Chains A and B, each alone.
Chain A
């Protein structure tokens, strides 16, 4: 199993540009998550999905959109990039039947908005 994979690893955007961060998992997990990690801080939840076609907002959703058309894929879309979105983005997934909500993380995408 590759686990959770993310692309790209690094990206520099100009203010106002848009991009999609890709996330794929091959563990057949129903639940998927997007977090952002700012320097010296823990991770904050942006969006999550409980299955194909179902998504919901997390703690910091403004400026982002998501979709979940398949179990495997959960892309994160930035429509109008702003400097405040400079961060490291992590995708994660978990078993729907896990009562402990243990999450498995991808390697991250480091995004800089200039």
Chain B
């Protein structure tokens, strides 16, 4: 089974621009979560989608948004980029949303650099 894939792997943008990152979950997984990883803040939860609905949201400004498509693929968008948005953005998929079994599988991430 193919793992979680994320595209692109690397991105360089300038302040004020917007960016869209894509994530394809493991086949059969319907939940997709996004995390931001930085040296200073570590791994922080952004949001989670299940069946095209946002189920959870972390403490990030409204510039960060996402969506999920009917095939479970997900995109996240960051508008009006700031220098502090430079980070590794990780996508994770899982088979269930809640319950006793919610192991998440992570993709390789998209490295975003904002200049």
A, B from the same assembly: no
- Partner-B contacts on A (CB < 8 A): none
